[in-house]
Amino acid sequence: MTGHTPSPKTSTSTDTGAGADTRTGTLAIFDDKAAATHHLADWLLQEALAKTDGPFSLALSGGSTPQLLYSMMASEPYASRFPWARMQFFLGDDRFLAHDHEDSNSGMLNRLLFSHVPVPAENVHLIPTAGTAEEAARAYEAELKTFYGADTLKPGKPLFDVNLLGLGGDGHTASLFPGQPVLKERTAWVSTCVPPVAPYTRLTLTYPAIDASRHVVFLVEGASKRETVAKVRAQDPSCPASAITSMGDLTWVLDRAAAPADA
Ligand SMILES: O=C1O[C@H](COP(=O)(O)O)[C@@H](O)[C@H](O)[C@H]1O
């Protein structure tokens, strides 16, 4: 593994080949969820402190898996050490719901992280909820473009320093759900998606926006995800996560239970 990606302290790591394989990525496997999450928090802190020539931009995932990470970041020893004023937070996806709805990813982040740390309000870019879902997608894309300083993504100029992703049992990541038109989107940075089975209309970063990240990190835990992790790493086309790539590197941070048997 390169020194720039989250590497495990306590367990094994498996490189997929020379150089950063930005499709299948590098595995970082930890004994349990707490160890994996601690290491990711340590790595994020190190990366945030190291980025001194501009803002440190993160796209955060929703769902249940990263909640321990967000609580950790809001607690000591992390809360007083992150350079909050230099950090810019975006969401990888959200349900098109009021932010105080219990199923809103923004609401979860407000509760667990943003309400506990001194991050300036203007550095927190939640997905809008005004108007239609399509209008909200356009508004969020405009906000991203203002932050990026250009209307088109440029090779070698990442939109995000870190893009934290999760993985659903059906192979979705962010709100890129199997079989949905959003998977074909190559121009827009933000799109709507109506999942075939999961609840709520979603807004999600698209492949081009996610791929424009310096580091893509999948955080996946639990035995129920093991088979899906293996499918994605084998580039199974039925899993939208298989098509994620990165401008820099891609790492899988896993607990032992989620790790493929041969890892
Ligand atoms: O719907 C979502 O699911 C994925 C995975 O969530 P988890 O609860 O299985 O961890 C998540 O990454 C995404 O942000 C979320 O909106």
What is the CA(167)–ligand 1 centre distance, in A?
6
pLDDT of 119 over the 50 cut: yes
Instruction: Give the pLDDT score at 261.
Output: 85
pLDDT in tens, 250-260: 999 999 999 99
Closest residue (by CA) to atom 16 of ligand 1?
A: 62
CA proximity to 210, closest of 179, 236, 247: 247
**ipTM for the predicted complex:** 0.98
Instruction: Give the pLDDT score at 5.
Output: 59
pLDDT confidence bin for 22, thresholds 50/70/90: low
**Residue 25 beta carbon below 6 angstroms from any ligand 1 atom:** no
Q: Which domains does the chain have, with CATH numbers?
A: 13-258 (3.40.50.1360)
pLDDT in tens, 31-53: 999 999 999 999 999 999 999 99
* Mean pLDDT for all residues in the chain: 93
The answer to whether the beta carbons of residues 208 and 189 sit under 8 Å apart is yes
Atom number, ligand 1, closest to the C-alpha of residue 221:
10
**Residue 168 beta carbon below 6 angstroms from any ligand 1 atom:** yes
**Residue 61 beta carbon below 6 angstroms from any ligand 1 atom:** yes
Instruction: Give the pLDDT score at 29.
Output: 98
Q: What value does the CA radius of gyration of the chain take, rounded to a whole number of Å?
A: 17
Mutation pick for ligand 1 pocket among 103, 167, 217, 226 (CB with most ligand atoms within 8 Å)? 167
Query: Burial code of 50-83, b = ≥16 C-beta within 10 A, e = fewer?
Result: ebeeeebbbbbbbeebbbbbbbbbbeeebeeebe
CA proximity to 95, closest of 61, 138, 70, 66: 61
pLDDT confidence bin for 8, thresholds 50/70/90: low
**Residue 228 beta carbon below 6 angstroms from any ligand 1 atom:** no
